[in-house]
Amino acid sequence: MYNEKKTIDKLKVFLTFGLIPVFVFSVVVLLPILTGIGMTFTTWTGFSGSLLEFVGIENYKEAFVDTRFWGSLGTTLRYVFYTLIFTNTIAFGLALLVTSGMKGQNFFRMGFFTPNLIGGIILGFIWQFIFSRVMIYFGDFLNIDILSSSWLAGPDTSFWALVIVSVWQNSGYMMLIYIAGLMGINKSLLEAADLDGASTWRQMWNIKVPLMIPSFTISLFLTLQRSFLVFDVNLSLTNGGPFRSTELIAMHIYNEAFLYQNYGSGQAKAFILFIIVAIIAVTQVGIMKKLEVES
Amino acid sequence: MKKRKKFKTMSLFIVSTLVFLLYFFPFVLIVLNSFKDRTAIISNPLSMPEQFSFENYIEAFQTMNFMSALWNSVLVTVVSVALIITFSSMFAYFLVRWKWKINKYLFLILIASMIVPFQALMIPFVSIYGKLGLLNSPWMLMFFYLGFGLGLATFMYHGFIKNIPVELEEAAVIDGATRFQVFRKVVLPMLKPITVTIVILDVLWIWNDFLLPSLVLVSESTRTIPLSTFYFFGQYTSSFGPAMAGLILATIPVIIFFILLQKQVIRGVIDGAIK
């Protein structure tokens, strides 16, 4: 470890290695966070015509009585719940499939991962076409009622469209994490179980799953975070419609601020979102850490 | 027994192929329809194109200003990632090798900021930098990416440098190298594996990012690929052919990137998630 004795030398080290990062981080990240906290308690918004006046928890009150905010939060929770379950189940299944030692498994891995490379905006548009044109054609052709009108026209079907696209987008990524977990399992454990006559099913539940808790932690954490903050796919697939029914929380905050110019309460909502995400993430990681076993 | 095993792998292969087709049919359909005209798309979106005409591509290429968007995306991504790599590695080295009290707090603040979602600071961010008149410049966008990317990259470098024994640097110190020279000549070359991981993660993030550039880049000439796709698709909602071609054009660069660097990308994504 290094420690310069003279203050001038210390300063020199800081100027070389620390000054620019500290400066950039402070003005780009810290300053907006602190200003944001200030914004929620005052009338100041930084946009035209507003003065600095302390209003206490007025902005939070406004956020709390906004039924649209609660509606959006409710939809988001529902969306997070389903994406979390489907993404991880499918991802785990895919991981088992492409580590089974069959021909071409590397190719399949790449294939399932591909949607992750492409931005959410583009993916949302691709599926917009699928839902609004291809599926209708299919439904008409085969006379399936549920497919005969665009899924993006009804609130309920739009919601499921959003879930499907998100699961499709994220499962390949989570699959990679589960593959890493599966590869990390000590082969001799499985061989011993094989000799003892344990079925594939028992090996899976009694050996693979418990040893893969760290992978589940990471993957659940990432899915949780991604789906709580999803914006791009929401924008390009449904644009919150019909009638703001699929406006998830990140988009709700965006629209409140930049579309309806409710800066103060919008910022208060943004902080509520931050606190929810932080609490869930910390709790989840805490619980999963307790479940981890030594192999 | 052997026959049973063969049957098992065969059926697994078939299942994988089916799932694969399910994953890829959206892409296939977009490619097919990108070659068709409007009436052909509406009358049957599942049919093969009658002839492979590149008319839609030419129209999309021109209206999207594809070359300009591609150049903007490359410029923003390359410069931002280079900035993140340079300053995060130096900063992490500083935080690991100098045990000043303040460094512990700097590191803590950096880590803590990583859980703050962008949405939580987006509104004040726009108001501050809008007021200062610093939005609408690709150079400012790179500066912002440095700020937002610093946390994760420094954190990853920090974990890596911690495990490099300081003894390795002693010879250079005795030879009278300055602190910066020691970093540049001795430490930096050893950071290669973690740098690859960070580059992959940040390239995928910045290349595909929509929200931040949509707030920063206002004028048409500075648009990146996600932005120009967004505006292009918005105008072309009823003219499907060019819209499909536009989506394919926007996808091609990142697919090429992936084909060239598949191993590194897969490795990088896994390492990045696990750390």
CATH of the domain at A219: 1.10.3720.10
Q: What is the mean pLDDT of chain B?
A: 88
Do A104 and A193 sit in the same domain of this protein?
A: yes
- Residue of B64, B150, B43 lying closest to B106 (CA atoms): B150
Q: In 3D, which of B23, B217, B243 has the Cα closest to residue A121? A: B243
Asked whether residue A34 falls in the same domain as residue A72, the answer is no
Say whether the peptide bond before residue B242 is cis (omega within 30 degrees of 0). no
Give the closest residue to A115 by CA, choosing from B255, B181, B245, B169: B255
Report the distance separating Cα A268 and Cα A40, nearest Å.
5
Parent domain of A231: 58-291
Instruction: Report yes or no on A23 lying in a domain.
Output: yes
Q: Which residues pair with A146 in a beta bridge?
A: none
- Residue closest to B251 by CA, chosen among A63, A201, A112, A116: A116
8 A C-beta contact, residue B190 and residue B176: no
**B79 by DSSP, 3-state: which?**
helix
Tokens 């954490």 sit on residue: A221
How far does B182 lie from chain A, in Å, by closest CA? 12
Looking at residue A214, its pLDDT comes to 83
Residue A115 lies in a domain: yes
- Asked whether residue A53 is domain-assigned, the answer is no
**Residue located via tokens 């914006």:** A231
Question: Scanning the structure block, which residue is given the tokens 């995400």?
Answer: A277
- Take residue B147 and report the two structure tokens written for it: 């700020």
In a domain, A147, yes or no: yes
Q: Which of A30, A112, A270 sits opposite B120 (nearest CB)?
A: A270
Nearest CB among B117, B130, B143 relative to A229 is that of: B117
Contact (CB, 8 A) for B58 and B66: no
Residues of B in contact with A44 (CB under 8 A): none
Distance between CA atoms of residues A256 and A261, nearest Å = 6
The answer as to whether A145 is a domain residue is yes
**What are the backbone dihedrals phi and psi of residue A54, each rounded to the nearest 5 degrees, phi first?**
-75, 125
Q: Are residues A164 and A33 in the same domain?
A: no
Are A36 and A68 part of one and the same domain? no
Residue B64 belongs to some domain of the structure: no
| Cβ contact B13–A130 (<8 Å) | no
| A286 exposure class (CB count in 10 Å sphere: 0-12, 13-18, 19+) | exposed
Instruction: State residue B243's pLDDT score.
Output: 87
Which residue range forms the structural domain that includes residue B95? 71-225
- For residue B28, is pLDDT > 50? yes
How many other CB atoms sit within 10 Å of the CB of residue A111?
A: 19
- Map residue B247 onto helix, strand or coil: helix
Searching chain A, which residue's CA lies closest to the CA of residue B179? A13
Q: Does residue A54 sit in helix, strand or coil?
A: strand
| Maximum Cα interatomic distance, chain A, rounded to a whole number of Å | 83
Helix (H) or strand (E) holding B166: none
| Interface touch B143/A28, C-beta < 8 Å | yes
| CATH code of B148's domain | 1.10.3720.10
Shared-domain flag, residues A22 and A82:
no
Q: Distance between CA A223 and CA A176 in Å, rounded?
A: 13
A216 occurs within a structural domain:
yes
Instruction: Pick the residue of A122, A262, A282 with the most B CBs within 10 A to test the interface with B by mutation.
Output: A122
The partner residue sitting opposite B26, judged by closest CB among A20, A126, A228, is A126
Tell me whether residue A48 is in a domain. Answer: no
Q: Are residues A15 and A90 in the same domain?
A: no
Contact list, B225 vs chain A (CB under 8 Å): 119
Q: Which residue of chain B has the CA closest to A220? A: B273
A163 and A231 share one domain: yes
How far lies B260's CA from each of A27, A106, A143, B153, B193, in Å?
37, 15, 44, 23, 18
Comparing alpha-carbon positions, the chain A residue that sits nearest to B11 is: A102
pLDDT at B43 over 80: no
> Could you give the CA distance from residue A105 to residue A112 in angstroms, rounded to a whole number?
11
Q: Is the predicted pLDDT of residue B244 greater than 50, yes or no?
A: yes
Question: Are A175 and A239 members of one domain?
Answer: yes
Is the domain of A76 the same as that of A189?
yes
**pLDDT reported for residue A295:** 46
CB B151 within 8 Å of CB B110: yes
Confidence of residue B40 (pLDDT cuts 50, 70, 90): confident
- The answer to whether the Cβ–Cβ distance between B30 and A180 falls below 8 Å is no
- Give, in degrees to the nearest 5, the angle at Cα B111 between A181 and B115: 75
3-state secondary structure string across A144-200: CHHHCCCHHHCHHHHHHHHHHHHHHHHHHHHHHHHHHHHHCCCHHHHHHHHHCCCCH
pLDDT top residue among A79 and B168? A79
Exposed/middle/buried for residue A213 (C-beta within 10 Å: 0-12, 13-18, 19+): middle
Residue B149 tokens read as: 């990317």
Residues of chain B contacting A218 with CB distance shorter than 8 Å: 273-274
Q: How do the pLDDT tens digits run along chain A, 295 residues long?
A: 787 778 888 888 888 898 999 999 999 999 999 888 888 887 776 665 566 777 778 788 888 888 889 999 999 999 999 999 999 999 999 998 888 877 888 888 889 999 999 989 999 999 988 888 888 887 777 777 777 777 887 888 899 999 999 999 999 999 999 998 888 888 888 888 888 877 878 888 888 888 888 888 888 888 988 898 899 999 988 888 788 888 999 999 999 888 888 888 888 999 998 998 888 878 877 887 777 665 4
Could you tell me if A54 and A138 are in contact, meaning their C-beta atoms sit under 8 angstroms apart? no
Set of chain B residues whose Cβ sits within 8 Å of the Cβ of A115: 23
A7 within 8 A of B80, measured Cβ to Cβ? no
Work out the minimum CA distance from A161 to partner chain B, whole angstroms. Answer: 13
The alpha-carbon gap from A232 to the nearest alpha carbon of chain B, in Å, equals 7
pLDDT at A284: 78
Residue B103 lies in a domain: yes
Six-digit token string for A292: 């981890």
| 8 Å CB contact of A102 and B13 | yes
Dmax (CA) of chain B: 78
Q: How many domains does chain A have?
A: 2
Q: CB-CB: which of B16, B243, B269 is closest to A97?
A: B16
pTM of structure: 0.89
Could you tell me if A4 and A94 lie in one domain?
no
Cβ pair B243:A129 closer than 8 A: yes
**CA distances to A64, A241, A281 from A77, in Å:** 17, 17, 14
pLDDT tens sequence across B48-84:
777 777 888 888 888 888 899 999 999 999 999 999 9
In chain A the first and final C-alpha atoms are separated, in Å, by 36
- The encoded tokens of residue A187 equal 């082969």
Nearest CB to B124 within list A2, A46, A115: A46
Measure CB to CB from residue B180 to each of A16, A30, A231 and give the nearest one.
Answer: A16
Give CA angle at A90 (A247, A150), nearest 5°: 40
Considering its fold, how many domains does chain B have in total?
1
Distance (Å, rounded) from C-alpha B77 to C-alpha B59? 26
Q: Determine whether the interchain pair A180/B179 forms a contact, defined as Cβ–Cβ distance below 8 Å.
A: no
Looking at the fold, whether A23 and A62 belong to one and the same domain comes out as no
Instruction: Say if residues A172 and A113 touch (Cβ distance below 8 Å).
Output: yes
- Give which of A16, A3, A7 is closest to B91, Cα–Cα: A16
Q: How far is A257 from chain B (nearest CA, A)?
A: 7
Nearest by Cα to A154 from A80, A83, A70, A245: A245
